[in-house]
Amino acid sequence: MTENKEIFDTTIIGGGPIGLFSAFYAGLRQMKVRLIESLPQVGGQLKALYPEKTIFDVAGFPSIKAKELVSVLTKQTLQFDPAVILGQKVEKLKRLPNGVIELQTKKGEKYLSRTVIITAGVGAFSPRLFKVENVKSYEHDNLYYYVHDIQQFAGQSVVILGGGDSAVDWANALEPIAAQVTVVHRRNAFRAHESSVRQMKQSNVKIATPFTAKAIVERGKTIEKLIINEVKGDREMELPLDDLIVNYGFVSELGPIKDWKLTLDKNSIIVNSKMETNIPGVYAAGDIVSYPGKVKLIATGFGEAPVAVNNAKHFIDPNARTQPMHSSSSRLFGQ
């Protein structure tokens, strides 16, 4: 076990988009910042699951690929040279008698911090699996739960299972390059953004609703066809395919965070208007938080991050302004 005795002003747990922006903003407030991410790279779900996904609701970008958003956020964050710890999962959080917060990772490393900002998204996540026999064997061939490179589907016949944002977004992204895209959903209505559904319905994407997957026809360890059944009906269809993408959503859990004595609402951390948790010096922002009127969007998290940082700054230095000057007036950028 290694104890790092240097005390940082704030430690950010989670290196997704909100964690990256929090690290940048804390640097802007001239705080000494450490960021700890459990994955081997920053970016969170955007980088790990949806790098090719196009995002339309980030201010200033008419549209931007998830991996590109992570890239510009990382560039922005590194301006202030934060200490970035990758591949370490924080398992324990403890407030010491002197008020300093001690974090311990799964690898036994200990880190000290005056404040902590939790930006761990939805916590640990795993896809809802396509429940067929020997499903793991197909994952090595033509069954996918997320897409890293859309070009691998160029000229292919692709079937997508699901009716949420991811299923619809992938259908729209693949329609121009795949030979054929078919979306199978168990309801007639989709649970996706209205404009995305409209785009899909106006394209060449084939839509099979209300249908569910019944069985597969395999060739070796490859899925050759998908048999689908009409919900509350008698129709059955056979869909030939080259690739099958399953977008049934993800199961998330807080993992060790649930043992940190935070006040929780299911899988969310309850915060107040200052992004404070019930533990002094511990703040949270992004999809992991809950408060009245909370909307889970990246855009919302980008607003919560400065609130958490400014209040953390004031917590460790009561003379510091909670309401800072505008960044356009800052001398930190050499203006």
Q: Which residues are annotated as a binding site for FAD?
A: 37, 45, 50, 90, 125, 287, 328
Q: Which residues contact 75 (CB under 8 A, 6 or more apart)?
A: none
192: nearest Cα among 159, 168, 175 = 168
d(CA 302, CA 73): 11
User: DSSP assignment of 103-141, as one string?
Assistant: EEETTS-EEEEEEEEE--TTSEEEEPP--STTHHHHHTT
Bind-site residues: 37, 45, 50, 90, 125, 287, 328
* CB atoms near residue 110 (< 10 Å): 15
d(CA 162, CA 332): 47
* CB atoms near residue 297 (< 10 Å): 13
84: nearest Cα among 30, 126, 22, 1 = 22
If you compute the radius of gyration of the chain from its CA atoms, what whole number of angstroms results?
22
* CB atoms near residue 81 (< 10 Å): 10
**Burial grade of 16 (CB within 10 A; 0-12, 13-18, 19 or more):** buried
d(CA 309, CA 4): 23
d(CA 224, CA 209): 21
In the three-class reduction of DSSP (H, G, I as helix; E, B as strand; rest coil), residue 234 is classed as coil
Structure tokens at 91: 């398992």
Answer for the pair 218, 232: CB distance below 8 angstroms, yes or no. no
119: nearest Cα among 48, 253, 23, 260 = 23
Structure tokens at 309: 């940082």
